[in-house]
A and B are shown apart, each in its own frame.
Chain A
Amino acid sequence: MKNLILKILGGISLTSVLFVFQACYGTPQDMEQDNQFEGVVKSKASGNVIKGIKVKTNFEGRQVYTNESGEFNIFLPLADQYKLTFEDADSTLNGSFASYDTVITDVPGYVRLDILLQPK
């Protein structure tokens, strides 16, 4: 009930800034939408996770590498279509794998990907 009264009072006494405020020495608040892509990269032959795989996106400069557990996680701005490319970036250090592309459309906010890379 108090929350409802707060919204009504806030709305008629001034503006929505009453709810979207900014602390003196802080940043603006973040209310924007974006999409999260996360998953794990494994060898198609052995099923083992692969670390050090570069996950490139169709947003310039936006890329991550898989960690020790073969996992990756990246946030990207809203778009109609996403292209993710998985590249073996460390030569033969963790095996040698062929690159793989995937195109994703209609992203609902979060996408989980399990990627299998073919050994060369």
Chain B
Amino acid sequence: MVERYLAPTTLDEALKALAAGDATIVAGGTDVMPQSQAGRFKLGRTLVNIRRVAGLQGGAKEGDEIRLGALTTISQLREDAFIAKTLPVLAEAADHFASVQIRNMGTLGGNIGNASPAGDTLVPLLVLDAVVELRSAKGMRRLRLDEFFTGPGKTKRTPDELITNIFVPAPKPGFVARFAKFGTRPALDISAVSVGIAGIVKDGKISNVRVAYGAVAPTPVRGRAAEAALEGKTLDAATLAAAAKAAQGEVKPISDRRATAWYRREMIHNLVKKVLADVAHG
């Protein structure tokens, strides 16, 4: 049962609260609250509302990287002019993210920390080659996002750590990233599958390819076979077909309430083709 509620305004205070142990972090609360109400998740003794912590908002270019504050809301991702210009794939993902109310409250850091295999920002972040910055009272470390998730709802974050920032390499000329998700209902649905593809497109050829899938494995995953099928290739019909086939072959989804394994593989095949066609068009 919750005994203490803290709303620190500085990072140090927040980290100190986490260091004391048995704390639950709340930012937007859009996952923590319904899950704890439904009994799927037990709140710690201390509720730490990090919403007022300064300096963890918005996006900015820092050297060769773009820093995205963990408290950036999904609505900000969707509306921020800098993000729309530099990382449009995130704005696109935010546009398909839950409802307006949830976008207003939910944060980028929260979506990462929640580690849902269907988390809508995670696939785009994977193809953007994102790195997660974690801070604790003991210090700071950075983990590659594709090594950060360990299972549904599970990550390498230790209980005293806070996700503070996300860094992605600043896009190079010719960089294109696209994302598509599919659920049964056109709006407000949790993905049955999602696909992200990024790379540098030059003279019709694609290189530095990154492919990622959502909701086909215990965590969002990179699509190494599809990447190999695409790397350095001309984006023609044969390449699209080969990449789609490679993608379909490499995913090992399960059947659950949202879709069967067969349908998910079928959809990965079709969505990879669809997203690649978008990438080819720039």
Partners in one complex: no
Which residues in B have some Cβ–Cβ distance to A below 8 Å? Answer: none
